[in-house]
């Protein structure tokens, strides 16, 4: 146990670490981070720390990063005891975790939600507070960019689907609590909370939270209690705001209407519509960015609450080369690009100065691809031009992700094969040119992911045989395992020998057992793969869920998709049993790993037939199926349409 005093308060840290140096290196920072989080929260809430003592316990193999027991926070020891080589990301992660758990002492412990339908609320609060506490201490990080990339793509991934769920969901039975969790709670709710602050103002939100905590101290209160308090502090109709943003699913379609008059703007307006055609209106404040080819830009605030908002001060400004409705990266919705903006971004996006604006452009272009407004080859071409010029590591990772998704999901196999050599060449030279080890690993991961040409397969095999090195990337056992599996699914001549040899290379018995479990899913023999899929009907064979998911990914790899289509219907038919026998995240992961490798109209038809045959499917399970099927249904339209 270590003790320290900060700001007149004694804190104790319990641990089982035997490495004295590791404790001494970290203890001071851990006490300081807790003390500064406490001081910030006391100031923000106007309520002194509400419990008698403030200790923390470092548990060696704790299943969560942290758990907010009042006065005695539990942490996974490794989350706080950092190595000397810890990256800035790890430092930021530790500071955020400490601020999150400390914020829970007020939001979650002092005031607790009455029931699980509001469990999202305390987690969102804790993250919202943690960002306010921690971000100023890391001025070198682009926090707006980090927030955009960490939240929007994942939130849209669910909210654009027919299976989208609201943030706040009724829950009848605690047994189903697990089904509440997902991207809508973890990624959409923080965005919506940031909107709330922009809508009513920072001071009104802080004062309302003070009243809420004071009125319900050491008791239970939920979302409706908070909205009632905040509603009294603003002219906005927060009950209506909460209905569309929190109690219902989905997002608006937002578009910019620009009328020019020679070289100037005659009229600029923003419009919204309800993709579900239910006439809903989403109330949000936006910042329109008007960009010009010479690098100049204008940012104009607009409050979109009706079907249209006119931006009066835009009249008379020079006509822009592009307009982004979510200029600051906070607007939420399907941000439809007007044709001029779309074409400008496809041609010139890499030349835009600000990393955040480039990221906003990418997120919008990806939505345009899914809507069928931008072709996959145009996006892949842009990625090839943008990647060598991209200076921000977060953006590089995001673009590599879009490139590989477009390549496997939205290109027909013959186009994929035709484009592979130039994409491989770009990714291999990018690996060599990357400045840092993490960046080089990201480039190489994408290279390994897309490799299809004979030349690339020869190189991957040489790397696996340790006859060639990857510049800047020291490979670990995990990498050699993935290389062997990737070579097997690509059907290289000696794949059986490679897989057998990789098995021998793995000494750890657990990792070897995992590898052996996956082996039949990679077999070149269709009968072996059939037998493996059949074995999954037995619940005992699904007990190691991460192994099952890895095997399903390989079984349904795009290169095997034609042959694995026969597993789609039986895989879907197992869904209800999977939910009964599996862990809470398993049904969605089962669906995703089953469907993600497919792109054909015949595969889409199998899913649609399943949904038509099963109107009795439990609503939450049906929603998961619709979420997981969204990419396949879009791919079938996009790929078939490109023929
Ligand atoms: Zn939490």
Distance CA 538, CA 515 (A): 20
383 occurs within a structural domain: no
375 occurs within a structural domain: no
447 occurs within a structural domain: no
Please give the distance, rounded to the nearest whole angstrom, from the Cα atom of residue 248 to the centre of ligand 1: 23
On average, the pLDDT of the chain sits at 94
User: Over the stretch 367-386, which tens digit does the pLDDT of each residue have?
Assistant: 999 999 999 999 999 999 99
Q: Read off φ and ψ for residue 57, nearest 5 degrees.
A: -125, 125
Above 90 in pLDDT, residue 17? no
Q: Read off φ and ψ for residue 523, nearest 5 degrees.
A: -60, 145
Please give the distance, rounded to the nearest whole angstrom, from the Cα atom of residue 116 to the centre of ligand 1: 14
The string of DSSP codes covering 490-516 is TT-TTHHHHHHHHHHH--SHHHHHHHH
Please give the distance, rounded to the nearest whole angstrom, from the Cα atom of residue 228 to the centre of ligand 1: 24
Distance CA 160, CA 117 (A): 22
The residue written with tokens 């299943």 in the block is 63
Tell how far CA 125 is from the center of its chain.
19
Please give the distance, rounded to the nearest whole angstrom, from the Cα atom of residue 108 to the centre of ligand 1: 8
Please give the distance, rounded to the nearest whole angstrom, from the Cα atom of residue 549 to the centre of ligand 1: 27
Distance CA 148, CA 141 (A): 13
User: Over the stretch 104-141, which tens digit does the pLDDT of each residue have?
Assistant: 999 999 999 888 788 888 889 898 999 999 998 888 88
- Mean pLDDT value of segment 346-362: 97
245 occurs within a structural domain: no
What confidence tier does 457 reach under pLDDT thresholds 50, 70, 90? very high
Above 60 in pLDDT, residue 643? no
Burial label for 306, CB within 10 Å (0-12, 13-18, 19+), is exposed
- pLDDT of res. 194: 93
Query: Would you tell me the crossing angle of helices 413-433 and 393-409 to the nearest 10 degrees?
Result: 160
Q: How far is CA 283 from CA 159, 195, 267, 528, in A?
A: 17, 9, 22, 55
Please give the distance, rounded to the nearest whole angstrom, from the Cα atom of residue 205 to the centre of ligand 1: 20
> Rounded to 10 degrees, what is the CA torsion of 512, 517, 522, 525?
120
Please give the distance, rounded to the nearest whole angstrom, from the Cα atom of residue 187 to the centre of ligand 1: 14
User: Over the stretch 165-219, which tens digit does the pLDDT of each residue have?
Assistant: 999 987 777 666 666 778 998 899 999 999 999 999 999 999 999 999 999 999 9
The string of DSSP codes covering 514-560 is HHHHHGGGG-S-HHHHHHHHHHTTSGGGGSSHHHHHHHHHHHT-GGG
**Most distant CA atoms of the chain, gap in Å:** 74
- As for how many domains the chain has, the answer is 3
Q: How far is CA 27 from CA 13, 21, 200, 457, in A?
A: 8, 10, 40, 49
Q: How far apart are the first and last CA of the chain?
A: 68
User: Over the stretch 229-287, which tens digit does the pLDDT of each residue have?
Assistant: 999 999 999 999 999 999 999 999 999 999 999 899 999 999 999 999 999 999 999 99
331 occurs within a structural domain: yes
Please give the distance, rounded to the nearest whole angstrom, from the Cα atom of residue 280 to the centre of ligand 1: 32
Please give the distance, rounded to the nearest whole angstrom, from the Cα atom of residue 140 to the centre of ligand 1: 26
Structure tokens at 465: 């045989």
Please give the distance, rounded to the nearest whole angstrom, from the Cα atom of residue 125 to the centre of ligand 1: 9
Side-by-side strand order, sheet with 264-273: 308-310, 264-273, 253-261, 334-336
- pLDDT of res. 178: 67
What confidence tier does 147 reach under pLDDT thresholds 50, 70, 90? very high
Please give the distance, rounded to the nearest whole angstrom, from the Cα atom of residue 360 to the centre of ligand 1: 28
Task: Tell which of 106, 137, 152 closes a domain.
Answer: 106
- pLDDT of res. 222: 92
CATH number, domain containing residue 69: 1.10.390.10
Q: How far is CA 339 from CA 252, 293, 333, 373, in A?
A: 19, 16, 18, 9
Burial label for 112, CB within 10 Å (0-12, 13-18, 19+), is middle
Three-class SS of 453-480: CHHHHHHHHHHHCCCCCCCCCCCCHHHH
Query: Would you tell me the crossing angle of helices 376-389 and 339-348 to the nearest 10 degrees?
Result: 40
Tell how far CA 396 is from the center of its chain.
15
Please give the distance, rounded to the nearest whole angstrom, from the Cα atom of residue 167 to the centre of ligand 1: 16
Q: How far is CA 129 from CA 38, 193, 253, 356, 643, in A?
A: 11, 11, 30, 22, 50
Please give the distance, rounded to the nearest whole angstrom, from the Cα atom of residue 102 to the centre of ligand 1: 9
- pLDDT of res. 189: 93
With residue 360 as reference, give the H or E element that holds it.
Answer: helix 355-370
Structure tokens at 518: 């996956």
Q: How far is CA 220 from CA 14, 51, 111, 447, in A?
A: 30, 16, 6, 52
CB 69 within 8 A of CB 56: no
- Mean pLDDT value of segment 456-481: 95
Side-by-side strand order, sheet with 66-67: 2-6, 9-14, 54-59, 72-76, 66-67
Angle at 574 between CA 573 and CA 578, to 5 degrees: 145
CB 422 within 8 A of CB 173: no
Please give the distance, rounded to the nearest whole angstrom, from the Cα atom of residue 191 to the centre of ligand 1: 17
Contacts of residue 69, defined as CB under 8 A and 6 or more positions apart, other chains included, come to none
- Mean pLDDT value of segment 394-407: 96
Above 70 in pLDDT, residue 505? yes
Residues within 5 Å of ion ligand 1, judged at the Cβ atom: 123, 126
Structure tokens at 453: 């040409």
What confidence tier does 585 reach under pLDDT thresholds 50, 70, 90? confident
Please give the distance, rounded to the nearest whole angstrom, from the Cα atom of residue 67 to the centre of ligand 1: 7
Please give the distance, rounded to the nearest whole angstrom, from the Cα atom of residue 120 to the centre of ligand 1: 9
437 occurs within a structural domain: no
Please give the distance, rounded to the nearest whole angstrom, from the Cα atom of residue 56 to the centre of ligand 1: 15
Please give the distance, rounded to the nearest whole angstrom, from the Cα atom of residue 220 to the centre of ligand 1: 17
Above 90 in pLDDT, residue 291? yes
Q: Among candidates 575, 579, 554, 573, which has minimal Cα distance to 564?
A: 554
- pLDDT of res. 262: 87
Please give the distance, rounded to the nearest whole angstrom, from the Cα atom of residue 499 to the centre of ligand 1: 42
With residue 239 as reference, give the H or E element that holds it.
Answer: helix 238-242
Please give the distance, rounded to the nearest whole angstrom, from the Cα atom of residue 632 to the centre of ligand 1: 33
CB 57 within 8 A of CB 98: no
Please give the distance, rounded to the nearest whole angstrom, from the Cα atom of residue 101 to the centre of ligand 1: 6
Above 90 in pLDDT, residue 637? yes
405 occurs within a structural domain: no
Distance CA 451, CA 427 (A): 10
Please give the distance, rounded to the nearest whole angstrom, from the Cα atom of residue 202 to the centre of ligand 1: 22
Please give the distance, rounded to the nearest whole angstrom, from the Cα atom of residue 64 to the centre of ligand 1: 9
CB 133 within 8 A of CB 40: yes
The string of DSSP codes covering 396-452 is HHHHHHHHHHHHHHSS-HHHHHHHHHHHHHHHHHHHHH-SSHHHHHHHHHHHHHH--
Please give the distance, rounded to the nearest whole angstrom, from the Cα atom of residue 642 to the centre of ligand 1: 46
Please give the distance, rounded to the nearest whole angstrom, from the Cα atom of residue 130 to the centre of ligand 1: 11
Please give the distance, rounded to the nearest whole angstrom, from the Cα atom of residue 634 to the centre of ligand 1: 35
What confidence tier does 347 reach under pLDDT thresholds 50, 70, 90? very high
Above 80 in pLDDT, residue 641? no
Please give the distance, rounded to the nearest whole angstrom, from the Cα atom of residue 126 to the centre of ligand 1: 6
What confidence tier does 100 reach under pLDDT thresholds 50, 70, 90? very high
Please give the distance, rounded to the nearest whole angstrom, from the Cα atom of residue 90 to the centre of ligand 1: 18
- Mean pLDDT value of segment 422-448: 94
618 occurs within a structural domain: yes
- pLDDT of res. 177: 67
Residue 346: strand, helix, or coil: helix
Residue 302: strand, helix, or coil: strand
Please give the distance, rounded to the nearest whole angstrom, from the Cα atom of residue 512 to the centre of ligand 1: 35
Please give the distance, rounded to the nearest whole angstrom, from the Cα atom of residue 442 to the centre of ligand 1: 30
Distance CA 423, CA 404 (A): 10
Please give the distance, rounded to the nearest whole angstrom, from the Cα atom of residue 622 to the centre of ligand 1: 28
Please give the distance, rounded to the nearest whole angstrom, from the Cα atom of residue 186 to the centre of ligand 1: 11
Distance CA 296, CA 492 (A): 52
Please give the distance, rounded to the nearest whole angstrom, from the Cα atom of residue 11 to the centre of ligand 1: 21
Task: Tell which of 306, 324, 344 closes a domain.
Answer: 344
Above 70 in pLDDT, residue 642? no
Please give the distance, rounded to the nearest whole angstrom, from the Cα atom of residue 68 to the centre of ligand 1: 7
User: Over the stretch 18-41, which tens digit does the pLDDT of each residue have?
Assistant: 889 999 999 999 999 999 999 999
Please give the distance, rounded to the nearest whole angstrom, from the Cα atom of residue 65 to the centre of ligand 1: 9
Range of the domain at 84: 1-106
Residue 206: strand, helix, or coil: helix
Residue 217's CB: how many other CB atoms inside 10 A? 13
Per cent of the chain over pLDDT 70 is: 99
Above 70 in pLDDT, residue 610? yes
Q: Among candidates 316, 329, 231, which has minimal Cα distance to 266?
A: 316
Per cent of the chain over pLDDT 90 is: 84
């Amino acid at each position: 146990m270590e003790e320290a005093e900060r700001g007149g308060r004694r804190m104790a840290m319990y641990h089982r670490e035997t490495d004295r140096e590791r404790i001494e290196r970290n203890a001071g920072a851990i006490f300081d981070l807790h003390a500064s989080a406490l001081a910030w929260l006391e100031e923000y809430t106007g309520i002194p720390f509400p419990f008698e003592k403030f200790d923390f316990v470092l548990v060696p193999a704790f299943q969560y990063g942290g758990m907010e027991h009042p006065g005695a926070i539990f942490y996974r020891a490794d989350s706080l005891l950092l190595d000397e080589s810890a990256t800035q990301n790890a430092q930021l992660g530790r500071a955020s975790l400490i601020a999150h758990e400390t914020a829970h002492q007020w939001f979650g412990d002092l005031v607790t939600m009455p029931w699980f339908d509001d469990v999202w609320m305390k987690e969102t609060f804790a993250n919202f507070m943690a960002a306010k506490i921690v971000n100023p201490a890391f001025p070198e990080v682009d926090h707006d960019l980090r927030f955009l990339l960490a939240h929007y793509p994942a939130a849209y991934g669910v909210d654009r689907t027919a299976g989208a769920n609201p943030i706040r969901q009724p829950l009848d039975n605690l047994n189903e609590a697990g089904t509440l969790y997902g991207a809508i709670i973890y990624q959409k709710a923080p965005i919506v909370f940031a909107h709330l602050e922009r809508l009513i103002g920072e001071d009104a939100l802080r004062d309302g939270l003070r009243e809420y905590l004071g009125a319900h101290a050491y008791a239970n209160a939920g979302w409706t209690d908070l909205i009632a308090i905040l509603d009294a502090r603003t002219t906005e109709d927060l009950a209506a705001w909460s209905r569309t943003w929190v109690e219902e699913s989905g997002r608006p379609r937002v578009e910019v209407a620009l009328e020019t008059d020679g070289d100037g703007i005659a009229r600029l307006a923003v419009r919204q519509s309800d993709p579900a055609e239910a006439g809903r209106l989403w109330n949000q404040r936006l910042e329109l960015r008007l960009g010009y080819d010479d690098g100049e830009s204008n940012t104009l605030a607009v409050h979109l609450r009706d079907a249209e908002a006119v931006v009066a001060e835009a009249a008379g400004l020079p006509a822009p080369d592009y307009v982004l409705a979510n200029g600051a990266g906070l607007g939420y919705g399907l941000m439809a690009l007007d044709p001029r903006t779309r074409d400008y971004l496809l041609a010139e996006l890499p030349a835009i100065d600000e990393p955040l604006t480039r990221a906003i452009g990418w997120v919008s272009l990806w939505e345009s691809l899914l809507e069928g407004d931008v072709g996959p080859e145009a996006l892949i071409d842009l990625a090839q031009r943008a990647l060598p010029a991209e200076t921000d590591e977060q953006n590089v990772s995001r673009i590599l992700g879009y490139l590989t998704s477009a390549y496997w999901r939205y290109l027909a196999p013959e186009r994929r094969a035709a484009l592979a050599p130039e994409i491989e060449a770009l990714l291999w030279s990018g690996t060599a040119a990357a400045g840092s080890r993490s960046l080089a690993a990201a480039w190489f991961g994408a290279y390994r992911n897309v490799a299809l040409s004979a030349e690339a397969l020869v190189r991957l095999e040489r790397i696996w045989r340790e006859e060639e090195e990857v510049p800047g990337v020291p490979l670990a056992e995990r990498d050699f395992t993935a290389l062997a599996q990737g070579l097997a699914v690509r059907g290289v001549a000696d794949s059986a020998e490679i897989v057998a040899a990789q098995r021998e290379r793995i000494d750890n018995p657990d990792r070897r057992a995992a590898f052996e479990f996956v082996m039949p899913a990679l077999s070149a023999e269709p009968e072996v793969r059939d037998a493996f899929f059949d074995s999954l009907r037995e619940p005992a064979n699904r007990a190691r869920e991460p192994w099952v998911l890895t095997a399903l990914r390989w079984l349904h790899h795009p290169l095997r998709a034609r042959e694995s289509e026969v597993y789609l219907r039986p895989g879907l038919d197992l869904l209800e049993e999977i939910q009964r026998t599996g862990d809470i995240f398993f049904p969605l992961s089962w669906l995703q790993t089953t469907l993600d490798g497919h792109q054909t109209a015949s595969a889409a038809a199998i899913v649609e037939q399943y949904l038509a045959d099963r109107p009795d499917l439990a609503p939450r399970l049906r929603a998961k199926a619709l979420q997981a099927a969204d990419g396949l249904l879009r791919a079938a339209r996009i790929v078939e349409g490109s023929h």
